[in-house]
Amino acid sequence: MPGENLSREEARERAAALSVERYDVALDVRSAVGAAPQGGERAFRSTTVVDFRCAQPGGSSFADLVATEVVSVRLNGRELDPAAVYDGARIALDGLAERNTLVVDAHCAYSRTGEGLHRFEDPEDGEVYLYTQYEPADARRVFANFEQPDLKAPFTFQVTAPEGWTVLSNAEPDGEPAAAGGGGTTTRFRPTLPIATYITAVVAGPYHVERDHYARALDDRSTLDIPLRALCRRSLAKHFDADEIFTVTKQGLDFYHETFGYPYPWGKYDQAFVPEYNIGAMENPGLVTFREEFVFRGKVTRASYEHRASVVLHEMAHMWFGDLVTMRWWDDLWLKESFADFMAAFSQVAATRYKEGWITFANRRKAWAYRADQLSSTHPVVADIRDLEDAKLNFDGITYSKGAAVLKQLVAYVGQDAFFEAARRYFRRHAYGSTELADLLSVLSETSGRDMPAWSRAWLETAGVNSLTPHLTCTAQGTIEELTVLQGADDPAHPQLRPHRVAVGLYKRMPGGALERYARAEADVAGSVSVVPELAGQPQPDLVLVNDDDLTYCKVRFDAASLETLRGHLGDLSDPLARALAWSAVWSMTRDALMPAGDYLGLVLLFAGRETDIGVLQSLHVQARTALTHYVAPERRDLAAAELAQGAVQELRLAEPGSGHQLAWARFFASVASSPADLQLLRGLLAGTARIDGLTVDQELRWTLLGALTARGAAGAEEIAAERARDDTASGHRHEVRCLAARPDAGVKARVWADVVESDALSNALVEASIAGFVQAGQRELLEPFTDAYFAALEGVWASRSIEIAMAVVSGLFPALQDPAGTLAATEAWLAAHEAAAPALRRLVLEGRDDLARALRAQQCDARAAEAARGGAAL
């Protein structure tokens, strides 16, 4: 839509001209219930009053709004013709005074895509639930505003809703709800402190609510008392473990108050778990929203609880990093997301029972960063964000997890005390304001005495990832003569070598078989070769682990002897973090075609069953499936799949009954099972005729088993319908859609394609489920005809769909399973022919191309290794 994609330059011009004093927003959402209008979409009334100043009286600007109808626009008492001033995305404002009041009365559409004000009807009981989601710029789908992060202001919300609904916003209600003319009640909320538009929020519906409170003495005279609420749909209440959520919440508030030295400023702390949510969670001050999949309907592993705790703590960190102090423009998105990702792991380990937080960070979060940093779309942590489409795509592994890893390196570089003192000064100095990179570097320079601009240039303002490789020379007596660390930059486009503060660990096999560290030294690595003199004279190790304790952000490589040790003894590493780092390193080597995929799968078969950390085990399962699907040579896939399935069922039977490891192996087995015997076991588990001691086949596991059978043609529509009858819930509906789309039938695939690509009828959650079912690794031939259709549809999808849905379609349906070189050539041809396409669209296609090219390189590596092995066997 013209004008909807705000540019950085436009935002800067508007911020230079305008300052906002207050918003008063009234929403009437009674139309969310009852019959839908004939031949039209549901809409709600939105009335906005904005008081703002203009530094250039007589000048012009614009307000943002996406509405189905603008009823009236009044500027400083002047009635403006909506047809003349509104273009579908912007309201033109001319002849501005020094002080201005804008009043906009509009009707806006409820969302089915999770953008704006989302409406969901629960199939289980027919109840309707609403919630808002705005980041980066969808508040304009709900009320008229100046939609950019640096134009902060106090907000007062008023919501008229059906009687009996729970209605929440960022602030507490200002009195009891009042009866509204025509039925329903009106809740008026107190004014907020100054916040950005994208973190305002409204949640409304017959939600189930749990309550608690948090108290903390600030000094001898005052106590901070924060009301706590946790919400979910009524039909999910029987699964809601609010006590665990409140426990983590209180632990986090304790930790952040102690660490940040700035009291929580937003009054209350509500956490709403909402349906059909596009992301993990959103840090709206006083009203955090989460995807309701964090309300677990069945048995999950400890890793799921740990992940939820991490998300709770991530969003809580935003109350300071992002909400109290907000980045000026999306270039500095890292100022909130990198810090929240880092603080989530830090606080989790320091304050909760999930002491494995840094292991998960090293093995899972950084894997996301490493992938993103090796794409052609890689960018510095401090990014160059031209417009809102760029901003939407910048919520990536670099902004979150690379930035967090860089902050962990920063703590090692300046020291923990200096780092957190800088945070405290940053909050005090910039509270309720907006900042950029220089503002943070300034306080870090004060507290650390380090050259922060130089550090920033190396770590925040350049892209790419370095590799660190140990090199040893040893004496005839078996001691280390010299140990050096070689630093490389694998991508010629990003040759920067960075200063690293690293720990180097030396490991030896002990008499009992364990591989344990016997020496460690921290060192500053700079340039291409760095000596670690502290380790000279140590006994020759079996394994050298560069970046022990995971202090820096790099790809870890091994000398030949260390790699050989890992091939035979990776599972013998006794320290769980060191073991996670070793797994991460061999996975990186597999992705970089330095280790054949077959070798990696061999390590998984040998050692994954001994992995004690459930989060690492589940990561290994994900990576093994990726290796099988994309990196194993095509002629070896069937054999590799059979070996993985055999290994998985063996570990399933060996796992402790009732344990999370047993559940993880059951799910992994279902994902790789393919032989008649495998499918017979899956059918038996589903029907209850087969049993594995301790394994509870609850409703969520039933859908996993049925999905696997359906994708392999061993179950069909009748079985899916019967399962949906057992589980007539919103989750059951999503599973049903996924399973139906997974059936190996050309007609089914054509219908799913039409539903997702050619129609806009499905909600965001059902688009996601349809794509998940459509794309099946065992159905490459069925999917091959859609390759040409994909490239033909791209620009139309991007132009006609909301960006959230367009991103899901473009990324989710990229023909990654069509891995012959011809698909790569077709991708290159589209990119060459569409240089003028939207940059964000081109970025998504480029990323698909990069992953496909990486897969082809890995397959060639695996094929060469297989051929060499056959040649060796023949000799």
Q: If you write DSSP's letter for every residue of 717-776 in order, what string do you get?
A: HHHHHHHHHH--SHHHHHHHHHHHHHSS-HHHHHHHHIIIII---S-HHHHHHHHHHH--
pLDDT at 819 over 90: no
Q: How far apart are CA 647 and CA 650, in angstroms?
A: 5
The first and second tokens of residue 841, run together, are 């669209």
Q: How far apart are CA 703 and CA 155, in angstroms?
A: 44
pLDDT at 444 over 60: yes
Q: What is the mean pLDDT of the segment spanning 210-220?
A: 91
Residues 6+ apart with CB under 8 A from 221: none
Q: How far apart are CA 67 and CA 727, in angstroms?
A: 37
Q: Which residue has the tokens 């130089």?
A: 454
pLDDT-derived band at 874 (thresholds 50, 70, 90) equals: low
Q: What is the mean pLDDT of the segment spanning 196-218?
A: 96
Element spanning 853, H or E: helix 839-874
Q: What is the mean pLDDT of the segment spanning 530-554?
A: 97
User: For residue 136, is the peptide bond before it cis, meaning its omega torsion is within 30 degrees of 0?
Assistant: yes
Q: How far apart are CA 91 and CA 143, in angstroms?
A: 12
According to DSSP, residue 819 is labeled -
Q: Which residue has the tokens 């070769």?
A: 529
Which pLDDT value is given to residue 574? 96
Phi, psi of 223 (to 5 degrees): -130, 135
The radius of gyration of the chain's CA atoms, rounded to the nearest angstrom, is 28
Pairing state of beta strands 466-474 and 555-556? parallel
Domains of the chain: 1-119+128-206 (2.60.40.1730), 326-459 (1.10.390.10)
Which pLDDT value is given to residue 107? 98
pLDDT-derived band at 39 (thresholds 50, 70, 90) equals: confident
Which pLDDT value is given to residue 163? 96
Q: What number of other Cβ atoms are within 10 A of residue 219's Cβ?
A: 6
CA dist 454 → 82, 106, 563 (Å): 52, 50, 35
Q: What number of other Cβ atoms are within 10 A of residue 759's Cβ?
A: 9
pLDDT at 875 over 80: no
In a 3-state reduction of DSSP, which class is residue 592? coil
Q: How far apart are CA 46 and CA 114, in angstroms?
A: 18
Q: What is the mean pLDDT of the segment spanning 807-829?
A: 95
Tell me what percent of the chain is helix, strand and coil, each rounded to the nearest 5.
50, 20, 30
Amino acid at 848: G
Q: Annotate 773-794 with b (16+ C-beta within 10 A) or e (fewer).
A: bbbbbbbbebbeebbeebbebb
Q: How far apart are CA 683 and CA 693, in angstroms?
A: 16
Query: pLDDT digit string (tens) for 273-301?
Result: 999 999 999 999 999 999 999 999 999 99
Query: pLDDT digit string (tens) for 483-507?
Result: 999 999 989 999 999 999 999 999 9
Q: How far apart are CA 848 and CA 807, in angstroms?
A: 12
Query: pLDDT digit string (tens) for 254-268?
Result: 999 999 999 999 999
Sign of CA dihedral 336, 339, 340, 341: positive
Q: What is the mean pLDDT of the segment spanning 81-103?
A: 98
More confident residue, 40 or 473: 473
Element spanning 470, H or E: strand 466-474
SS (H, E, C) 478-516: CEEEEEEEEEEECCCCCCCCCCEEEEEEEEEECCCCCEE
Element spanning 581, H or E: helix 576-591
Which pLDDT value is given to residue 219? 80
More confident residue, 446 or 873: 446
pLDDT at 425 over 60: yes
Q: What is the mean pLDDT of the segment spanning 641-667?
A: 97
Judge whether 777 and 817 are in contact, CB under 8 Å. yes
Across the chain, mean pLDDT equals 96
In 201-286, which ranges are E strands?
A: 202-205, 208-217, 223-232, 269-274, 281-282
Amino acid at 265: P
Q: What percent of the chain has pLDDT over 90?
A: 96
Q: Which residues pair with 794 in a beta bridge?
A: none
pLDDT at 2 over 60: no
Q: What is the mean pLDDT of the segment spanning 821-827?
A: 95
pLDDT-derived band at 445 (thresholds 50, 70, 90) equals: very high
Which pLDDT value is given to residue 1? 46
Q: How far apart are CA 179 and CA 187, in angstroms?
A: 9
Which pLDDT value is given to residue 873? 65
Is 315 part of the annotated catalytic residue set? yes
Catalytic residue among 315, 611, 736, 804: 315
pLDDT at 406 over 80: yes
pLDDT-derived band at 820 (thresholds 50, 70, 90) equals: confident
In a 3-state reduction of DSSP, which class is residue 68? coil
Sign of CA dihedral 86, 87, 88, 89: negative
Which pLDDT value is given to residue 3? 61
Q: How far apart are CA 424 and CA 3, in angstroms?
A: 39
Judge whether 506 and 540 are in contact, CB under 8 Å. no
> Per this entry, what is the length of the chain?
875
Judge whether 835 and 871 are in contact, CB under 8 Å. no
The first and second tokens of residue 803, run together, are 């960006």
pLDDT at 338 over 70: yes
Phi, psi of 316 (to 5 degrees): -65, -40
